[in-house]
Amino acid sequence: MVFCAISMRGKVCIHMFEEGENEDGEIYRQLLVDLIIPACLEVYPDGDFIFQQDGAGPHTAKETQQLLTDLSNRFGLKFIASKEWHPYSIDVNACDFRLWAHAQQEIYATGSPSSMSELRERIMRWWNCLSDDLIRKWMQELRPGTSGCREWNPDRAMI
């Protein structure tokens, strides 16, 4: 499993889970604190971003939503709460709408990897070669009218 965050400013962070490791709520919340939010603040040092997730269980878990609320209250970070997010709209999530399809196309362009190690290497090569301009293009394609969220803004969205 792979976690990626992107924004209008380009790549934010990537995390590859160890073989057999699952993204449960506790692991995801630790990633938020240790990697994801710090990476967001590195890309947006002024904190002027809105953190958006998809509808995965660990992302919508009550404890995760509470953590994001606490971070929001403490540091003024903005996020789109799970109750505000349209559950079936890929049109407003560049990861689902573009990133993963692009990753699959590039990673498997020369066939299936022969090992987990080769797959991990291909993923990192794809990520390192992924251009910020392409990510910005994907972010501009999003259709915020389908999200039902008043706060969404492609210039500030962090996915």
Provide the residue type at 100 as one letter: W
What does the pLDDT profile of the chain (159 residues) look like in tens digits?
Answer: 899 999 889 999 999 998 888 788 899 999 999 999 999 999 999 888 888 887 788 888 999 999 999 988 888 888 877 777 665 554 556 777 788 899 999 999 999 999 999 999 999 999 999 999 999 888 887 755 444 444 545 555 555
Q: Contact 32/68 with Cβ under 8 angstroms?
A: yes
User: What phi, psi does 51 have (nearest 5°)?
Assistant: -85, 125
**Can you read off the two tokens belonging to residue 9?**
């400013």
Domain edges within the chain: 2-158
Residue pointed to by tokens 């090992």:
115
Residue 86 neighbours by CB distance under 10 Å:
14
CATH number of 2-158: 3.30.420.10
User: What phi, psi does 53 have (nearest 5°)?
Assistant: -120, 175
CA distance 110 to 124: 15
